[in-house]
Amino acid sequence: MNILAIETSCDETAASVVKINPKTWQMKELSSIVSSQIDIHQKYGGVVPEIAAREHVLQILPVINEAISQAKIKPKQINYLAVTQGPGLITSLITGLETGRTLAFAWQKPIVAVNHIAGHLYANFLNTNQKIKFPAIILTVSGGHTNLVLMKKPNNIKIVGETLDDAAGEAYDKAAKMMGLGYPGGPIISQQAKAYLQTKNQASNLIFPRPLLKHNNLNFSFSGLKTALLYQLKKDKNWKKRLPEYCFAYQEAIIEVLIYKTLQAATKYKVKTIMLSGGVSANDELRQRLLEVVNNKLPQVKCLIPEKKYTTDNAAMIAAAGFFAIENNLKKKKTMTYNKLKVDPSWNL
Ligand code: KG4
Ligand code: ZN
């Protein structure tokens, strides 16, 4: 089965063709094109919705054309379309969804709506040769969401923990803005933290709070951490000279909480697999530490981490999630037509 997927929920215009074996769930990316607008939004310190929307309109058709051409297939070889319906910026979502609907109409193909966060979760199924064992717990850490999802089976998911305020990516982005480091904050802060470790190779005595760490639930809270950083910066006149150390200490607080809660969830639900997803999972320190900790503390549990290109927004992950939505619709004999689809900017998982 070939799925053409489209993703335009925020500031990336993306299209991808993924070939899926419905029996084995083996998913092979035939193409994955991502046109990022980061350079355009960088000077504003964050995504400007109107600019993002206009850029999607310019990029969407060239990106889809490129995805089809790189996949070396003809439109008639596409079996299904999958498109992000939400959550995200309404004006960004509309371009991708309406383009998907138009193609579904023109080509007379079935189309499914995909939840963006589900896309991040199912990124773990792409290009992997391993058979995923269930139940699984998935830590999703992106710019807008931070949650722990229990996946009993691919079509049976439940949020068991989530952030009560800021998302982990937001914590990175806001801290970077506070320290005048630019957007997006995650890659910049993690690079500074890496530089600190390389030069110092020892732990910092600058310690930020670990929000909700000892609370007996699986929720997160990152807004207090950002405030703690603000007060510390006000107190320390020399903070600019200690920038890498600040980034290191701030990142440590985020990573420690993320890993601790993930292990807590894995133990509570006796999972066989732990997976990671979302933009923040591009972070090398988080990837490496999660693997190490799972290996040491829960050696019987398999830890899966998606390829870096599938961590930040892309359309291959929308095809992966689309596949399970298609299977579900086929089972329930639901039609998958273009005329029912409408964007849903606040669609909950
Ligand atoms: O999943 P994503 O591409 O978009 C959303 O759905 O939000 O995630 C974007 C977020 C941003 O907050 C960005 O700062 C963060 O992912 N991010 C990182 C890294 N790369 C991107 N955070 C930490 N370390 C990174 N290397
Ligand atoms: Zn995302």
The reported pLDDT for the residue numbered 201 is: 63
- Is the beta carbon of 283 within 6 A of some atom in ligand 1? yes
Task: Characterize the bridge pairing of strands 111-115 and 156-162.
Answer: unpaired
C-alpha 7 to ligand 2 mean position (Å): 10
**Does position 129 have pLDDT exceeding 90, yes or no?**
no
Read off the pLDDT band of 202 (50, 70, 90): low
Among 280, 281, 286, say which to mutate for ligand 1: greatest number of ligand atoms within 8 Å of CB: 280
187 lines ligand 1 (CB under 6 A): yes
Cα(300)–Cα(288) distance, rounded to whole angstroms?
18
Q: What is the pLDDT of residues 330-339, one digit of tens each?
A: 999 999 999 9
| Mean pLDDT, residues 152-171 taken together | 96
Residue of 312, 313, 318 with the most ligand 1 atoms within 8 Å of its CB, for mutation: 312
Smallest CA separation from ligand 1 atom 3, residue: 312
pTM given for the model: 0.94
Secondary structure of residue 162 in the 3-state scheme: strand
Query: Can you tell me the distance from the alpha carbon of 20 to that of 84, in angstroms, rounded to the nearest whole number?
Result: 19
Which pairing describes strands 111-115 and 136-141: parallel, antiparallel, or unpaired? unpaired
Contacts of residue 285, Cβ cutoff 8 Å, sequence gap at least 6: 190, 193, 194, 251, 255
Question: First-to-last CA distance in the chain?
Answer: 25
**Residue 185 CB coordination number (10 Å):** 25
> Residue 318: CB within 6 Å of ligand 1?
no
DSSP state of 133: P
User: What strands lie across the sheet with 136-141, from one edge to the other?
Assistant: 156-162, 146-153, 136-141, 273-277, 302-304
In this structure, which ligand is nearest to the CA of 12?
Answer: 1
Q: In this structure, what is the dihedral angle of CA atoms 72, 10, 250, 280, given to the nearest 10 degrees? A: -30
**Is 318:119 a contact under the CB 8 Å cutoff?**
yes
